[in-house]
């Protein structure tokens, strides 16, 4: 099983009046991560609209541990902590340049039929695309998921 991992720069427009990265930026970084996950499984966002289903977010949660500042780089890790028939939970970890955990979060997504916008089960073939990124038995993940 594998994680999606990538680095991002912190830009001046992401800094709030206290001098650190604004909370909302983490949600944007999560969106970049979800896009990278879809690309990794072979469903880039410009093609997903041709599929019979679409992922829709239903929950976002972030725990902030320490701030990031202008000039920092953030490393983001993403994986699936849970994959059900019609939903998935994505787990995120954010690290600073010193590899210190600065935040962690999760998002729950629902797979919906694009015409009806009702929940839709993944086919076995669709589900198989996500399996390489499923890390369900990670003790730290389970602790974070149950602590919310």
| CATH number of the domain residue 91 falls in | 3.10.129.10
pTM above 0.85, yes or no: yes
**Residue 28 domain boundaries:** 4-146
- Residue that is written with structure tokens 């072979």 in the block: 42
3-state secondary structure of 131: helix
Q: How many domains does the structure of the chain reveal?
A: 1
What are the phi and psi torsion angles at 118 (to 5°)?
A: -100, 155
Give 118's pLDDT tier (boundaries 50, 70, 90).
very high
User: Residues 10-15: what's their mean pLDDT?
Assistant: 96
Predicted local confidence at residue 28, as pLDDT: 97
């Amino acid at each position: 099983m594998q994680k999606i991992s990538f680095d991002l720069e912190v830009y001046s427009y992401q800094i709030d009046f206290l001098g650190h990265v604004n909370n909302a930026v983490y949600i944007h970084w999560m969106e970049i991560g979800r896009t990278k996950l879809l690309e990794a499984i072979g469903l880039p966002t410009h093609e997903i609209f041709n599929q019979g289903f679409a992922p829709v977010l239903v929950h976002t949660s972030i725990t902030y541990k320490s701030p990031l500042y202008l000039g920092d780089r953030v490393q983001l890790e993403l994986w699936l902590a849970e994959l059900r028939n019609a939903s998935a939970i994505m787990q995120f970890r954010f690290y600073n340049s010193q590899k210190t955990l600065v935040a962690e979060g999760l998002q729950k997504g629902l797979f919906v039929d694009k015409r009806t916008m009702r929940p839709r089960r993944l086919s076995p073939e669709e589900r198989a695309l996500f399996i390489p990124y499923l890390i369900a038995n990670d003790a730290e993940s389970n602790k974070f998921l149950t602590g919310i």
